[in-house]
Each structure stands twice: as structure tokens, then as C-alpha cells.
Amino acid sequence: MRPGRGGAFRVQIAFFLFIWGFTFVTAGWFAWSARWLHRYGDAWKPAVVMGIAVTSCFALLAGLLTWTFVALGRGENGERFDPVPDPIERRLLAPVLAGWSARTWATALALVAVIAWAGYCWYLQLRYGLAVTGLGRPVFWGMYIVDFDFFLGIAYGLVLLSAVLRLAGADWRRAGQRLAAMGAVFAMIVGPVNILLDLGRLDHLHKVYASGRMQSPLLWDVASIMTFLITCLVYLFLPLIPDFGLLRERVGGFRKPIYRFLSFGWTGSAAQVAALDRANRLLAILVVFVAVIVRSVVAWITSLTLQPLWHSALTGPMYVLGAIFLSAAVLALLLAAMRRAFGLSAVIRPVHFDKLGLVLVLCAVVWGYLMVSELLTVSYGNEPDEMAIIATKLSGRFSLLFWMAVGGLFAAPVALLTRKSWRTAGRVVAASLAVFVGSWAQLYTELVPVLEHPRMPLPGSGHYRPAAVEIATFAGCLAAFVLLTMILTRFVPVVAVFYERRGRGDAAAQATERSREYQAEVTHP
Amino acid sequence: MSRWGMAVDLDRCTACGACTVACAQENNVALGNPDRPDQLIRWMEILPAERGKYPEVSARLAPSPCQHCDREPPCARVCPVYATYRNVEGLIPQIYEQCIGCRYCVNACPYTCKHFNWSRPEFPAPFERGLNPDVSVRNAGVMEKCNFCYHRLQVVRDTAAQEGREPKLGEYRTACQESCPTKAIRFGDLDGELEGVRENERAFTLLEDLGLMPKVIYLKEKTS
Amino acid sequence: MPATGKLEPIGWAEAFERLADKTRGSEVVFGAGDLGRGERQLLRGIAARREAAVVDARLPWGAAPVEAMREMLGSGEWRFDLPRATFVLSLGADWLQSFPSPVEAQRAFGAMREGPRRACVVTADARLSVTAARSNDWFPVARHHLPEFALSVAHAMVRMSPAVAARSPAFAALAGETRFGATETGKRLGIRPHLIDWTASGLGMGGVVVVDGADRGIEAAGMALNLVAGAIGRPGGVVAAALPPLPAGLGEPQARETGEFPRTRAAPVVILAAANPVQLALAGSGFREGLARASFVVSLSPFLDESAERADLVLPVSTPLESRNLTWGCTLDGRGFVSAGPAAVKPLYDTLEWPEALLRVGRALSVELPWKDAGAYFAAAAEALSAQDLLKKGGFKSLEQDPAPPSLPADPGAWAAETVRSALSRPGPGAFPLGLAVHVPLAFLGGSGAHLPYLHGIAQVSGREIWQTVVELHPDTARALHIPEGAPVWVDSARGSIQAVLRLRQGIRPDSAGLALGLGRKALGAFAAERGTNPLDLVESAEPAFVRVRGAT
């Protein structure tokens, strides 16, 4: 242990202890649950399966972190980390180093006002009960669950998209990597709030842990949210370390020790870079699995019931695709916003929008295929219960939302972005907005029409229309998402300076290498 | 071990609604808010179903409580906290103090026969004098449903225990059964009072093809 | 009617002093709503001694066809012997939902479905009412066509066995006209002719026709059909009631009830006993105008209903649970009974039992009845009915006595033939194309009950709507009007307009519109006031009426 690092080091040790401790506590919780479920004669195997899955995920994460930080500590070369400032770095660090402008303050205050309004509405709901919502019989779930699915879709999709791109070695992903991770973390914070909004007895929430039945998909959801939130925090944090190292050198005042602590002794030595790269790659593999599974868990909440149209194996794939689709749109919007706000056109280039546009078109085509599959399967089967619901989507009460979904998720991307020359930033942003709205509309039309058509002719049953409280809280969630993003962009660069710089340096060499490989194959068969 | 069930003879039922009112009164069901009829709670309801085209129209009006599925009730399957489950006697209780109000159970229920307390039930004077002391008034935010007047079973067992005997056949009666003027509703042990009901040629259950084996058994209208 | 809208509590003594003061020298009119048998007799006794008119303020739908019974059978005390019936034709009567004794109706239905002898029930009505839904068959016949339907059934019966014509030559002669042949009538009414023949044979083999007292024409046709079918006086038909003898002092003298408010020039004092004309009076009765003319209005009622809210003096009466009960009558199979019991609960408020309130009203009108208070009344009546034990412990006893053999007029159907003939000449649909099928849900029977929240859930038996007034239309009718299901609509008649929500159903004739009574209250608290609308605003009387439906945008 080197002198001068004592305090930070102890905190870091505590951090590792916490991670490992959390892993063991989780394992213990599942084991304990399995034991009492077994004793009650209830289904205990789900607890074992989930315990193994979740615990191994946490153990992998904890191991990865430990191993990486040990490697980082070993790799310190004693040199002062002080790369030469270049224009890219100056551009990217400017928002972090500069103070908040009056406009920023005004925007932040406006967002806080929206959040406060949402908070007041929540207070009203806590006081008068869920009666203040538009929910009733038979529509017991409404906008809260739609919003929950929506934000979780953003989170899972952003992580999935960026991790897949990393594994595929797509260079252009670099500009969006950090934004994706940031967006995922914030969506993971904002999304589950909607579950709290939806619960009738918030004060009984602890019973999920105290007497959770692992066979309920809701418990799977609890476990997956827990797992994924921690996974994507790590996913955000690891690539930040070099930038914390840089910021440590660039800032003064109270922020300096914070950045120093967070940089984990980053000196930029070859050993450290190699260790971090390895960790990032392994993490990318892990999150792809986790994201696909947890997104499917959200879909399974509805598809595991017996209700007509919900009870479909297609829901899972549809949700996973929808998440990627939505997150590509969100990423494009975030990139455009950052480019505009911080003048980053040197880093966020037309190629990024071109590629994201391509992702959107591909998603739109696959989405169209899945939607046609579903409609064909259901209509051909012609079951009355299902057809009644389909009819309200195609031409009934929900037709506006349904065709908004089709327009936003299929027509708009295909019409706007099919040709390469069409995929300009403006068009991609327009299509992304359409996808953003369309995704919400689709989740709504997956959930509500089914509930509005119970199998039994129930007396007193009405139509569902979201009440002001539900709309306000959704606005509050969106505002919180934007505000959190706004705040974090003032503390970390929106594009990873270290990777961007390194990427630029390596790009030419890598391209040459790749092209040499193709050529070699052609010339020497 | 008893297996409590109900037989509803649709040939005798006149859809008078006495069961609905008796049930609500017996079980301290919330009065409801006239501005939100969609949030009304009624454990026992008459489900209207019209069939055929004019002028060949017929209607089936079926009193419908919780169906008390015998085989893997979908509500109990998805409940995350043991607020609802199938007990050894085949009853599906609802534990209000355990419920977190997620409403997953009712969304999974193909009969949609559970209810949610959207707001705190209020019993303005003089309604509060009509409350049944054997039944709790539910809090806002929890699910509730027909539990076959379970409190009456407890009373029957307590009385029998005090008198040092076994509960008698037909001693456990539900409020809807007692109030039925045409005796269309019968309640009891499917292996006792109601033995053979399932084998009746008129017997059917709601959404039979889902295979949930409800313990509310309907006897369809006779044809003459 | 003077109405300050504010209530001011006063003592009982002062209340009756005021009443005495106001009624001194002025004309008094009584409105009698749903009162117990004894209470009704008390009221009529007071009215007779004071030479005051008694206006029957009950809803005519679901009431017994008393007028037809009186005119044709000499007395209003006859019963439809449903428990023993083998074939029942409900002629526009939704008797499972609205009947003089709803409990007996349900029990009778249970008895019909009991055992191997299973009665056949058919219902002819414009809508698939609850009774129609629970019947073996539903014949969709518009309300204004019901007399014609009855005539054609009679026509078929006479054709099948000409001897039955002798039971009522006048009616048989009318029914015998060729225009009432099954084929022709079926075409005119839009129903299948063989149903008419089938009904005729069912009735001929010993059936009974159930009608209510809403419309004279239908009532007369139905009772005449009973006559032709030989149902009068036959078990399982229409049987004479064997009522227990009236307790001394309750019989004579007695005022006769009228359906219309007396049209005098003077400003009368109106005393309402369980009557709520502000909400429930038909326009044709002139009751509302009479109230507006009144110099002083007194309301005796357990509930602060619309009329009580506008009365000058409210005399709160105990509910049946809060007071001693003593009533007697006759079950559907004609057997007399006495039922009595002590109060089930202590009164919640400072209220009087019905007999006490009526006796003191009588005293304020300077009418002396033989009992000094309710206790004396109950004791005397219980003694006369030998029901002292019942009054103490509570219970019910049947009286074993045979009904007096009915002595019928020479041709009891003559009045019916005349009445039906005039009903046939009533104008049909004109500018208002849809026949109005009014029905009274069991939950709101007699117009009361709307303030009881648990009842709302069961009021719309065949639909899903709660706490709103629904107009039922056939989907084809609605399509022609371009109104979607669930849309708010206006229902117009020659008399007025109300708002309702549209419900589509196959179980209604395309030329009819169904509306339920009971909502549209102006009083009785949050569960009743301003919920839905009152279809009585559309009609002059209980005669078949016609309406138009249009979208409310």
C-alpha cells in the first residue's frame, strides 16, 4: 500500500466487501426462500434456478470488478497521467469544466417543476388511493405499467444495443457508448418508480422480500431489475475510469479528490489499458445475456397468463426487438441533443446517424414481420375472444394508437431512412421521434385492449382513459430522465475521451489491417 | 377433508339479485362511488349474456362469485407474496394484510372475479351500523373477492368445538345461499352435501376448456 | 308548492298542532304510496271520516290489474296462482322484476321449476325482460300491440274449441273477427303465426295469463284471455283471495282510492303517506299540478325523498325494521296469512311507527279512531287476527280457509271487450317511431331503493351499466340512426325529453326502445340524487307511449 492512498483505498476495500457481501446475501435470500417454500410444499425450484442465475451473475460481476481493480492497481507505473490536451478533449471536457449557464439553470428548474407536479400527483394518489387514476374494472393495469415497460425497454435496449455493437467491433458505436450506458442507468432508475406508483400497498413492499414466491413472474421481475440495475451501473462505470483519471488532472477544488477516488489510480499504463479492455469485453458478453433475459421477463409477466393475445410466445421476442428499436431511437435523440447542446459535431458525425438509421430500418422490417406474424396467426385462428380485441385495435377504440404504432414503428423508419442518402441527422431524428411515440403506443395497445375485453360480461365495466395523475407522473418520469442526464453530463464527458482519442489513433491502422486480410484472401485462395 | 363448492341451478335462478345484496351486506363490501361505477366492488354478480339474433334471442343470467378453481388457480400462481393461495380444503382465501396491491392476480384470472379497493371504503352513518363484526373492512389498495363466507365456517367450527361435536352436514351456509328465494344456490362439500353435482347431466363450469376445474358448478336451464 | 328548501327541526307536539292549524276548514287530499295493508286501511278510514280524497300514488307498472278484476270479477282481490300454474303467459308483465309481492314471485318461479311438473312460461313483451329471459320462450310483441296479440290468441283458442267462446261471448265475438287470425296478426305484429297457435293451445290446456295494472287495454285483454282460457277460479289460474276478516274498526267507513288528483279550485292541504308524487306521479294524474296548488304539504315518509324535501311539514316515520309489524293478506295460491313481529332494531332517529303517526294525523284532522295509540291499535288488530303471539315473537301463519266461491257477472268479458276495442283505436306511432318499453327493476321497486348503494349493482340486470339511465335499442335501429353503443342520446316523446346512454342488444324489438325506471332522483343523497334521468318525464300515463332517440352531441 502506497502512502497517501490510505483513505481512498479503504473505501475501495469497503466497496469490494459490499459487492461480495451483496452477492452472498442474495444467494442466501434465494436459498432461504427455497427452503421455506419447500417446507410449505410450494414450488421451490424456481427459487433455486433464479438463485443460481442471479447469484452467478452477481458473482461474475464482483469477480470481474475485483480482478479488474487489482489489475489496475498492479498496472500503475508510477507516472503522472497527463496526456497532451487536444481539440477533441477540449470540446468534450468543456461542459464539465464550464459552469452552468442561465439557460441550463432555467431548463433544470423547468424540469424540476414538472417533477414536483408529478410528485404532488403521487401525493394525491397516496392520499386518496388509486381511485384518482383512470383504472377500474376490468382495466386493472394501465399507463403505469405501460410506462414501466417503456422505460425498461429503453434501459435494456440501450445496453443490449451498445454491447452487441461493441462485440461486433463497430467503430462508430464509440460516440454513443457512454450515452447509452447513462441512459440505461437513468431509465433503470425512472422505470421501476412506475411500479411503486402502481402498487396499492406501497407499505407492504417489503413482503416481496420477506415472503416472496419465486414462481410468480413478478418476483422474476424484481430479481431482474435488481440484477440489471447493478449490471448497468458497472457497465457505465468501468469505461469512465480513464476519463476520471483525466478529469482528476484537469479540475481543481472539491471535485478533484472525488475524481481521484473514482479513477482508481488510473495512470494509463499499457497494463491498465489491457486490463480494462478485457473487463469491458467480458462485461459486454454478460450484459447481452442479462438484457435479453430480463427484457423477456417483462414480456412474460403478461404472456404467462391465460388471457387472450397476451398468452403468446411471440411477446418475448417482440419485447426484445422493441427494446432495441426504441433504444436506437433514444440513442439517436440523445446524440442529436448532445451534439446541439455542446457543439460536438466534430465527434458525433453524420456516420453515426447513418448507422443508427440503418439499425432503425432493420428493426422496422423485423418488427413488421413479427406484427404480421401475430396478426395472421390470430386472425386465421379466428378465436372470438382474440378477434374482438384485434378488432378494437384495427378499427375500434384503439385504432388511433395502433396505427400510430404501425406508423411510428414501421412506416416512418422505412419511408424516411431506407436509402443511405436519406439517412441525414434531421431525418433520423424525425424517425426516432416517431419510433419513440410509436413504441409507447404499441406497449399501450399490447396491454390495455386485452384488459378491456374480459372473457366474462362484467357489470359496471367501463373503458379506460388515463387520468391526469397518470399523465403527470409520466411527464415527471420523462423530466427526471432528462434532468438526470443533464446533471451527469456536467460531471462526465458525454463521449469517452480516452476511447475516442485511442479509437481515432487506431482506426487507420485497424482499417488497413482489415482490408489487408480481405485482400489476402482474394489474392491467395 | 372437505372440498367446499357451490352449485347454481340456472333453471331456478330468477336473477333477482338477492345474493348480490346479501353478499355485499354480509361481507362489508364497500358501498362504491357512483361517479366511478367501474371501480365498484361486488363479490357476487349476475353476469348477463345474450345469445342469438333477434328474434331468436335468449339470455343467460348467471350469478357469479369467485370460481374457486380446484386445479392451479391462476391467481394463486402469480401472487408474489402468498396473499392468495389454494388451501387444503380447496378454498382460495385472500389475505388482505399480506396483499401488496399489484393486481397481477386479477389480470391473470380468466373470470376477472376479483376486486381491488381503489380507495378507502367509507361507511357514512348510518351504514356503519350495518357492518358485520365477523368480517374485516378492507383497507385501500388490496384485492378482495368471494371467500365462500369463510368466517361462517370458522363460527360453525367454533360452535361445534364448544359443543364437543363435529360440524353437521349443511351447517356451513353462505349468505348468498341463505338469501336465494328460489333455492337456486346450494353450497357445501362437493363430497358431502353436493355429492354428485358434477355428474349431473346439466352440470357445467365457466370456461371449462381452460381446465381450471372451478368449484362453482352451474346447472344449465332445462329444456322442455 | 311553497318550498324554502331548508329544514327546521320542531317537536312532535308542535308538528301536529301546526297540522291541525293548517287543516282547519280546508280541503284535504291524501296521497297513498306503498303502505302496509293495515296502514292503508287506517289512512282510508281517516279520509272517509274527513270526506277527503285518497289518490293512489303507486307506480302502475308491476301493480295488480285491480281495475280489470273489479270490473270483470267483482273484486280486486284475486291472485295469479303461479306456484300451481302449468302454463304461464306473461303479457307485457315483467313479473320477476316488478310484482305486488316480488318475494312471492321469485318463490313461485322456484316452485314452477321444482320436480317433474315443470311449468312452461312464455313472455310477450317488446324487450327481453328478465322474465322473458327466464321464460321458455320470448315473443317479441310491441307494447301497443299486446291487446291485439291477446285477441289473436283468443281467436285461435275459439277456433280450436268453439265451446270456450261461451265463457265470454262479447270478447270471443271481438276476437272472432278475421283480422285477428294468427296469420294476419302475425304479419301485422311482426311475429311468427305458429307462436300464436302454440300459445293458444298452451293456455287452452289450463294456463294463466299474467298482466300488470299499468295499461287498461292490456289489463283488460289479459284478464279476458284468462276468462276464455277458463283460468278464473281454477287452481293454477286466477284464484279468489281468502283474506282474513278485517279487524273491527278498520273496515268501515272507507274512502275509495282514485288514480287522479281531484280537480277542485280550492287550495287543498295535501298529506302524503309514503307517496312521492314529485318523482313518481304520472303527468296524467294531475298530482304534480295539485301539489303546486296546495296550500300546505305534509309528508309522512321514512326517507327524505323529493316530495318530503319540498313539503312544508315532514313527519318522519320508522322503517319496517324499526317498528312493530302486523300485516295480513293472501298468498299467490289464494290462502290467507297473517304476519307480524316486533321491531328488529331500535329506531335510529326520533321517528313514529306508521299507525302512531297516522292516528295522530287523524287526531289533528279531528278524526277520532277507536285506538288511542299504536299500541292499542296493534293489540286490537292482533286480537282480531289471533296473532298476539306472532306480534310478540315474530312470525307468519297461514289461515286454513277456503275462498268464498266467486260470483261472476253474466258476461264478465263485456267490459273487457269494450275496453280492448277502444284500446285498438288508439293512435299508433307517428312522429315518434319507437314504442317505449318502460320497466321497473326489482332493485328500485315502487320507485324506492335508489338511495341504497348495494341495489344499484343489480338494477341493470341485463346490462353492464350502473348508476346511469340506459336506453336499449336494437343494433339495426341504432345503425339507422348512426349512433354508436355507449353514446349519450336524447330520448324524446310528445311530452318531454330525457338524456340516456345507448345500449345495443339483440333482445329488443327493432321498433321499440327500453327504459328502466328508478333513477333520475333529485333527493335521497349522494347515491341517488342526480344519477341518471327519470323516464316518467316522457309519459302522460302508463298507456303504451312512443319516443324518438337522437344522438346528444
Report pLDDT digits (tens) over C382-441: 998 889 999 999 999 988 776 666 677 778 889 999 999 999 999 989 899 999 999 999
Minimal-distance CA residue of chain A relative to C460 = A459
Instruction: Tell me what pLDDT residue A84 has.
Output: 80
Q: What is the CATH number of the domain that holds A473?
A: 1.20.1630.10
Write out chain B residues lying below 8 Å of C96, CB-based: 14-16
Minimal-distance CA residue of chain B relative to A196 = B102
Are C418 and C168 a contacting pair, CB within 8 Å? no
Instruction: Tell me what pLDDT residue A6 has.
Output: 59
Q: What would the pLDDT profile of C296-316 be if each residue is shown by its tens digit?
A: 999 999 888 899 988 999 999
Helix ranges restricted to H, A238-314: 241-250, 255-262, 270-303
Q: Is A461 on the interface with C (CB under 8 A)?
A: yes
Residue C253: pLDDT over 60: yes
Q: Is B149 on the interface with A (CB under 8 A)?
A: no
Residue A212: pLDDT over 50: yes
Q: Is B45 on the interface with A (CB under 8 A)?
A: yes
Residue A120: pLDDT over 50: yes
Residue C448: pLDDT over 80: no
Q: What is the arithmetic mean of pLDDT over C88-108? A: 93
Q: Which of residues 274-333 of A touch B (CB under 8 A)?
A: 301-302, 304-307
CB contact under 8 A, A462 and B64: no
**Where is average pLDDT lowest: A77-91, C83-97, C351-365?**
A77-91
Q: Which of residues 71-110 of B touch C (CB under 8 A)?
A: none
Q: Is B101 on the interface with A (CB under 8 A)?
A: yes
- Give the model's confidence band at C351: pLDDT under 50 very low, under 70 low, under 90 confident, else very high: very high
Instruction: Tell me what pLDDT residue C464 has.
Output: 74
What is B4-219's CATH number, 3.40.190.10, 3.30.70.20, 3.50.50.60, 3.40.50.300? 3.30.70.20
Distance separating alpha carbons of residues C361 and C16, to the nearest angstrom: 7
Instruction: Tell me what pLDDT residue A72 has.
Output: 86
Residue A523: pLDDT over 80: no
Distance separating alpha carbons of residues A375 and C47, to the nearest angstrom: 74
Q: Is B24 on the interface with C (CB under 8 A)?
A: yes
Distance separating alpha carbons of residues B93 and B150, to the nearest angstrom: 8
Instruction: Tell me what pLDDT residue C250 has.
Output: 81
Name, in order, each residue with C-beta under 8 angstroms of C513's C-beta and a sequence gap of 6 or more.
C434, C435, C436, C437, C471, C472, C473, C477, C491, C547, C549
Classify residue A368: in a domain, yes or no: yes
Write out chain A residues lying below 8 Å of B45, CB-based: 458-459
Q: Which residue among B47, B79, B207 sits closest to A213, beta carbon to beta carbon? A: B79
Number of domains, chain A: 1
Q: What would the pLDDT profile of A402-459 be if each residue is shown by its tens digit?
A: 999 999 999 999 999 999 999 999 999 999 999 999 999 999 999 999 999 999 888 7
Classify residue A15: in a domain, yes or no: no
Are C488 and C457 a contacting pair, CB within 8 Å? no
Give the position of cell 485497424. Answer: A510
Residue C2: pLDDT over 60: no
To probe the interface with C, which of B8, B46, B182 has the most C CB atoms within 10 Å?
A: B182
Q: What is the arithmetic mean of pLDDT over C515-538? A: 89
Pairing between strand C395-398 and C336-341? antiparallel
Question: Where in the sequence is the domain holding A130, given as residue range(s)?
Answer: 99-250+274-506
Are A156 and A294 a contacting pair, CB within 8 Å? yes
Class of domain C15-60+262-398: alpha beta
CB contact under 8 A, B38 and A304: no
Q: Of C37, C179, C13, C210, nearest to C109 (Cα)? A: C210
**How many Cα atoms within 13 Å fall on the side-chain side of residue C400?**
0
Q: Is A459 on the interface with C (CB under 8 A)?
A: yes
Q: What is the arithmetic mean of pLDDT over C162-168? A: 91
Cis peptide preceding B93, ω within 30 of 0: no
- Give the model's confidence band at A522: pLDDT under 50 very low, under 70 low, under 90 confident, else very high: low
Residue A4: pLDDT over 50: no
Q: Is B209 on the interface with A (CB under 8 A)?
A: no
Distance from CA of C524 to the nearest CA of B (A): 13
Q: Of B138, B209, B204, B216, nearest to B177 (Cα)? A: B216
Instruction: Tell me what pLDDT residue C264 has.
Output: 78
Write out chain C residues lying below 8 Å of A457, CB-based: 464
Residue C470: pLDDT over 80: yes
Residue spans of the domains in chain B: they are 4-219
Distance separating alpha carbons of residues A31 and A35, to the nearest angstrom: 6
Residue A3: pLDDT over 50: no
Give the position of cell 378494437. Answer: A392
Class of domain C430-551: mainly beta
**Where is average pLDDT lowest: A21-35, A178-192, A498-512?**
A498-512
Classify residue A60: in a domain, yes or no: no
Q: Is B73 on the interface with A (CB under 8 A)?
A: no
Instruction: Tell me what pLDDT residue C405 has.
Output: 65
To probe the interface with C, which of B46, B54, B183 has the most C CB atoms within 10 Å?
A: B54
Q: Of C445, C435, C447, nearest to C520 (Cα)? A: C447
Residue B190: pLDDT over 60: yes
Q: What is the arithmetic mean of pLDDT over C16-30? A: 93
- Give one DSSP letter per residue of A319-385, joined into a string: HHHHHHHHHHHHHHHHHHHHHHHHT-TTTS-HHHHHHHHHHHHHHHHHHHHHHHHHHHHHHHHT-HH
- Helix axis angle, A350-381 to A174-198, nearest 10°: 40
Residue C5: pLDDT over 80: no
CB contact under 8 A, C106 and B31: no
Write out chain A residues lying below 8 Å of C466, CB-based: 459-460
Instruction: Tell me what pLDDT residue B1 has.
Output: 80
% of residues, chain A, pLDDT over 90? 70
> Does the predicted interface ipTM exceed a cut of 0.90?
yes
CB pairs under 8 A between B and C: 122
CB neighbourhood size of C422 (10 A) = 13
Reported for B72-75, long-range contacts at CB under 8 A and 24+ positions apart, including other chains, are B72/B212, B73/B212, B74/A305, B74/A306, B74/B105, B74/B108, B74/B109, B74/B110, B74/B212, B75/B105, B75/B106, B75/B108, B75/B109, B75/B114
Q: What would the pLDDT profile of A269-306 be if each residue is shown by its tens digit?
A: 889 999 999 999 999 999 999 999 999 999 999 999 99
Residue C352 phi, psi dihedral angles, 5° rounding: -105, 150
Indicate the SS3 state at residue B5.
strand
C-alpha cell at A17: 466487501
Contact partners for chain B, using 3 or more CB pairs closer than 8 A, are A, C
Strand-pair partners of C87: C120
Instruction: Tell me what pLDDT residue C447 has.
Output: 67
Which fold does the domain C78-240 belong to in CATH? Dimethylsulfoxide Reductase; domain 2 (3.40.228)
Q: Is B206 on the interface with A (CB under 8 A)?
A: yes
Are C264 and C240 a contacting pair, CB within 8 Å? no
Write out chain A residues lying below 8 Å of B74, CB-based: 305-306
Q: Of B37, B138, B69, nearest to A458 (Cα)? A: B37
% of residues, chain C, pLDDT over 90? 67
C-alpha cell at C264: 277542485
Q: What is the arithmetic mean of pLDDT over C349-358? A: 94
Write out chain C residues lying below 8 Å of B183, CB-based: 110
C-alpha cell at C171: 270478447
- Give the model's confidence band at C183: pLDDT under 50 very low, under 70 low, under 90 confident, else very high: very high
Q: Of C215, C260, C227, nearest to C422 (Cα)? A: C215
Residue A86: pLDDT over 90: no
To probe the interface with B, which of A126, A198, A201 has the most B CB atoms within 10 Å?
A: A201
Do the domains C15-60+262-398 and C430-551 sit in the same CATH topology, yes or no? Answer: no
Classify residue A77: in a domain, yes or no: no
Q: Which of residues 172-231 of C touch B (CB under 8 A)?
A: 191-192
Instruction: Tell me what pLDDT residue C42 has.
Output: 93
C-alpha cell at C97: 322484476
Q: Of C103, C123, C80, nearest to C437 (Cα)? A: C123
- Give the model's confidence band at B159: pLDDT under 50 very low, under 70 low, under 90 confident, else very high: very high
Are A354 and A418 a contacting pair, CB within 8 Å? no
